Amino acid sequence: MNALDLAGVGAGFADPVFESQSAFRGCLSALATPGTLVSLGAGLDEMPGLHAAAGALLLALLDQDTRLWLSPGVAVSRIASSLKFHTGCSLAASPGEADFALVAGADELPPLEEFSAGSQEYPERSATVVLQVPAILESGWRLSGPGIRSEARLSIPSLGEAFLQQWERNRARFPRGVDLYVSSGDRLCGLPRTTRIEI
């Protein structure tokens, strides 16, 4: 057992049972209806560098059996020790070993191919990537695919052409591939591997 520095640990959920259930429900509907923005973690203690929505998602989904990779911008002891304290998760040294990844910004997002994409037999063993961005717009890109009746409009200004090409390759290897959550403040949207993005 390694020592855990508790000095910077955040408060976590005030009511762990109900708040983690409602956060779980929020994550579920965000991924089930891509392009829809979900409000998450509004009551959560502010922590510098960690969005409320991303924090609530990680507190709800991480446990002792999951490995978390933190991008350099969020790999600070406060965030790491807080998540380890509240969830018991362990940290992964590289994106490829992680079940969950928290990425501080679009410029720190490694190529999606670097994350675990699961196997043909067990596609659910892929990584879930949580990306924090300054803003999510409800206009711009046209999203289509499972969970979207006709089309949904959404765009993330900090993600450019290179990301869209990676995303297309990610979609093409279905059933393998990573799922992406994008959070901005206390708002969150889900982009599952099945969603097609067109400009």
Partner 1 sequence: MFQTSDGDSKERREWMELLARAPLAMLESWMRSAGDGGSLPGRTWLRKPEAGLAMLRGRAGGAGERFNLGELTVTRCTLRIETGEVGVAYVRGRSQRKAELAALADALLQSPPWRDAVRRHLLEPVRAQLDAEATRARHKAQATRVEFLTLAREAGQ
Give the binding site for partner 1 (CB under 8 A).
1-7, 9-12, 14, 16, 85-86
Instruction: Report the residue number, 13 or 115, with the smaller CB distance to partner 1.
Output: 13
Name the minimum Å distance from CB 84 to partner 1. 10
Neighbours of 123 (CB within 10 A): 15
Closer to partner 1 by Cβ: residue 51 or 84: 84
Q: Judged by CB, which is closer to partner 1: 14, or 32? A: 14
Q: How far is the CB of 78 from partner 1 (least distance, A)?
A: 13
Output 4 or 162, the one with its CB closest to partner 1: 4
Q: Is the dihedral of CA 181, 51, 187, 86 positive or negative?
A: positive
Q: Is the dihedral of CA 36, 40, 42, 45 positive or negative?
A: negative
Q: How far is the CB of 71 from partner 1 (least distance, A)?
A: 25
- The separation between CA 162 and the C-alpha centre of its own chain, rounded to angstroms, equals 19
Instruction: For CA atoms 154, 156, 160, 165, give the dihedral sign.
Output: negative
